[in-house]
Amino acid sequence: MERGSSKHSPRVDDNMSQDVSGLVQGPGAGGSRVEEFRQPEPAGEDQPEPKTLTAGASRGGNPQGMSMDEVEARSRLGKFITMTALPGDRDALLANARENQAPADVIASLETLPDGTHYQTVSEVWAALGGKNETTRW
């Protein structure tokens, strides 16, 4: 006797597995949402940009040597610099940020980076912009 799901037919099981494949496979070139209809809609023009953290006091979790606002700002910078731009110099970072539709303040801060310096990580870019990184990683 075969021990399988008797709730659906094999064809329906295959279709159901395809429906969730984008959520199960993890992030790729298009993010974790493969189909366009799964992309979250952006906030309206009069709506604030969503934050990763909720308002109010933090229950901890921020790295030693950084405040939660600094973590949020570095994360926001990293949202517009993808891994394809790293390692890269100022021009590569600017081109990548513009390609990812970075806001004007992010572009302006990246334009202040020194020319000719190659950055390996977003944390290095953040430090070059005057931000503080964590003092101990683990």
pLDDT at residue 131 tops 70? yes
List C-alpha distances in Å: 82 to 9, 25, 71, 98, 121.
42, 19, 17, 11, 10
pLDDT at residue 32 tops 70? no
pLDDT at 34: 53
User: What whole-number distance in Å separates Cα of residue 128 and Cα of residue 138?
Assistant: 22
SS (H, E, C) 9-72: CHHHHHHHHHHHHHHHHCCCCCCCCCCHHHCCCCCCCCCCCCCCCCCCCCCCCCCCCCCHHHHH
**Whole-prediction pTM:** 0.51
pLDDT at 29: 46
